[in-house]
Amino acid sequence: MISGENSVSRPVVRSDVLLGQIDSLASVGLDSSGGRTRLALSESDKAGRDMVVRWMEEAGLEVRMDRIGNLFGILRGADGGLGNALMIGSHIDTVIHAGPYDGCYGVLSGLAVLRAFREAGVVPPRPLVVAAFTNEEGVRFQPDMLGSLVAVGGMPLGEALDITDGKGCTVGEALAAIGCSGGEEPGFLLPSGYLELHVEQGPRLDAEKKRIGVVEGVQGISWWRITIEGKANHAGTTPTKLRHDAGYAAALVSVFLRGLSLSAGTTLATVGTIDFEPGAVNVIPSKAVFTVDLRDPDGEKLTEAEKRLAAFLEKTAFEEGVGISSEHLVRFEPVVFDRELVQAVEETAASKGLSSMRLVSGAGHDAQMMARVCRTAMIFVPSAGGISHSPEEHTSGEDLAAGVEVLLGVVLRVLGF
C-alpha cells in the first residue's frame, strides 16, 4: 500500500517517454558523422539544459539552479521542505564526439521516476530531486565532476569560477555567457541519499550477459600534465647520441606506464593527449606536453603508481638530458558506496527477475562526490561491446527500460513503500 495525499495508483515509469527524451537530447550537438558534442557551458550544453528544464516544468517539478550551474528538478514531500531529500542525478555535458547515453540516461531516468510519482498522484514522504551536474566530463574545464565537487564543499565556489579553459575563458564567464549562473548557493540542497543510473562504459556486464550492474564503488583517479623540455635540432644532421629529444623521452614514459599497468595488475595508465613543439617532421622535438590518467580501486596501489611514475620521470630526465616537470591536475581517492543501498539495488534486480553482478566502476561519476555527504549507490546497465565515449555507444531499449525499473524499485524501497 502506497501512502500519500490523493494517491491513486502505484508509480509507473513510461519507458516510451524516457526513450523518446533520450533520443531528443541525443540530437543536440549532433554532427554529420553521428557523434554529439556538448562541452560544459557551451551553447550546445545550453540547448540541452533548456530542453531538460522544459521537461522538468512539464512534469510539474520546481526548477532551481545554483551558482555553479547545477540544475535541480524538485518534487516536494509531504512536509513541503527540502530536508532529508532523496536525489537522483548525473550530467548532460559530453566528451567530444560522444554517444547518446553517458550521463543523459541518468538524468532523464531520474526525471522519469519523479514524473511517475506526479502522474500517479503520489506525494512522497520526503522530497525527491533530479539533478544535472555541471562539467562532469572535465573536457573543457578541469577537474572533472566540478559541479558536484563544489556542491558538496570539496572546492570553494570562487576557486571553481576562476578555472579557465584552453582559450582562457573562466567558468564564471562561461556560465554568464549562457545565462546559467543560478541564484542558489552550491550546497543549498544536500540530500540524505543519492542514486545514479548509468550505462556501464565497460565490457563486463555485456560479456557476462548480466542485465544489471550493482556498483559497490568507484576506483581512485589521478590525472597529471607532464612537460618535457629538450633541444630542437635538425633531424638529419644530429647524431642520436647527441640528441636531447623531448619526443623520445615522452615515448619512454608512455612505454613505462604500460609496463606499470601490467605489473600492478589492477592499475590502469593512459596517455590521453600529447603535443610536440615545434611540430615539424624534420625537427627533433624541443618540447612535449602530455597527460597521464592513473586509476586503481586500491588507494595504496594508486599512491604506489604515482611514486613509481615520479621516480621514472627523474631517471629519464637525467639519462636523456632533458628537463621534466609535472602538474597534478586531479586526485580522487577510491570510493566505497553505502552497503545497505548497494544491497537494495541487488535485491530489487532479483525481485524483477533481472540477473546482476557486483562491480567497481572504472569511470568517475558524480556519485563519488555525493558519497562525501550522503548514502550513495549506483546502478549500471550494459554497454554493447563495452563501448562508450564514442558515437558507437549502444544500449538496447530493453536494457535502458530495465535499469529505470530497478531505479524506481530502489526509490520505493528507500521511501518505505
Is 102 marked as binding a ligand?
yes
Asked whether the beta carbons of 193 and 414 are under 8 A apart, the reply is yes
Is 399 marked as binding a ligand?
no
Is 314 marked as binding a ligand?
no
Is residue 207 helix, strand or coil? helix
Handedness of CA 396, 401, 402, 407 (dihedral sign): positive
Burial of 270 (0-12, 13-18, 19+ CB in 10 A): middle
Residues 307, 171: Cα–Cα separation, whole Å: 32
E runs forming strands in 92-174: 128-133
E runs forming strands in 45-189: 62-65, 71-75, 86-91, 128-133
Is 119 marked as binding a ligand?
no
DSSP designation for 154: S
187 backbone φψ class: left, alpha, beta (φ>0; ψ -120 to 50): left
Among the listed residues 166, 148, 213, the one whose alpha carbon sits nearest the alpha carbon of residue 374: 148
Residue 283's contacts (CB-CB under 8 Å, 6 or more residues apart) are 232, 233, 234, 235
Residues 131, 235: Cα–Cα separation, whole Å: 54
Q: CB 268: neighbour CB atoms within 10 A?
A: 17
Is 198 marked as binding a ligand?
yes
Burial of 62 (0-12, 13-18, 19+ CB in 10 A): middle
Binding residues, by number, are 91, 102, 137, 198, 389
- Which residues are known binding-site members for Zn(2+)? 91, 102, 137, 198, 389
